[in-house]
Amino acid sequence: MARKPGDRKSSGRGQRDLKVKVKTARGRKLSSTRWLQRQLNDPYVKRAQAEGYRGRAAFKILELDERYRFLVPGARVVDLGCAPGGWCQVAVPRVNALGEKSGKAVGRVIGIDLQEVEPIAGAELHVLDFLADGADDQVKAWLGGRADVVMSDMAASSSGHKQTDHLRIVALCEAAAELAFDVLEPGGTFVAKVLAGGAEVGLQTLLKQRFDKVANVKPPASRADSSEKFVVATGYRGRPVSDPGTAEPEA
């Protein structure tokens, strides 16, 4: 019988975790072999498989929420670039999207991606380019109002050039933040992945103007050799009145 995400299964006594070694096959690059070996030996990959999550990234949002508590019952959540769906899997039970927690408010989880994503019970998954004109209005229409949380684990396709990749992901994060400014309720939360490298300073400044608190976090599930980190911005204040042509969020 398939297990729900988060279910645990004891490995039993006497079993040992043995490191898997991968030989470089003919025609396969050494870097690919190293990646495969790392995946096979990654404890978070193993946990994701054991607990029913679609990827190890699920543990990143789990760890961030354990610390900042933004996925609460009744929260309305928008997951940008949601494929393969691990973050939505985490959000559904925490916001009580299925109504399984008696006496608790029922939340909503909206997942958005450029491609179709395999269905997730309790999550509403849509194909949408969040950069397109009117995307913010479409998101609010699906929600029937504004969101309490906008989160993004998106990363631009790797070019192999570190600084270029850094600039691309910062630009993507800035675009996600702009959508968040349009759809978040006052007091809402924005969570997004960035890569350390210097260009994110402008993003940090912008977020500090719009939110009460902005934290930069590297959760334990984020690999030590990765330059990724996450911004967690809480207490959305709304767009300033000086923003031309932009209305304040509705109360």
Active site residues: 193
What whole-number distance in Å separates Cα of residue 193 and Cα of residue 22? 30
Q: What angle do CA 159, 165, 167 make, to 5 degrees?
A: 140
Spell out where the chain has E strands: 76-80, 108-113, 124-127, 147-152, 184-195, 211-217, 228-236
What whole-number distance in Å separates Cα of residue 16 and Cα of residue 129? 45
17 labelled as ligand-binding? Answer: no
Reference 139, options 155, 149, 128; nearest CA is 128
225 labelled as ligand-binding? Answer: no
- Token pair for 229: 């980190």
87 labelled as ligand-binding? Answer: yes
What whole-number distance in Å separates Cα of residue 66 and Cα of residue 43? 19
What whole-number distance in Å separates Cα of residue 173 and Cα of residue 192? 7
What whole-number distance in Å separates Cα of residue 95 and Cα of residue 71? 6
Owner of token pair 């210097």: 198
Binding site residue list for S-adenosyl-L-methionine: 85, 87, 113, 129, 153
User: Annotated binding site, which residues?
Assistant: 85, 87, 113, 129, 153
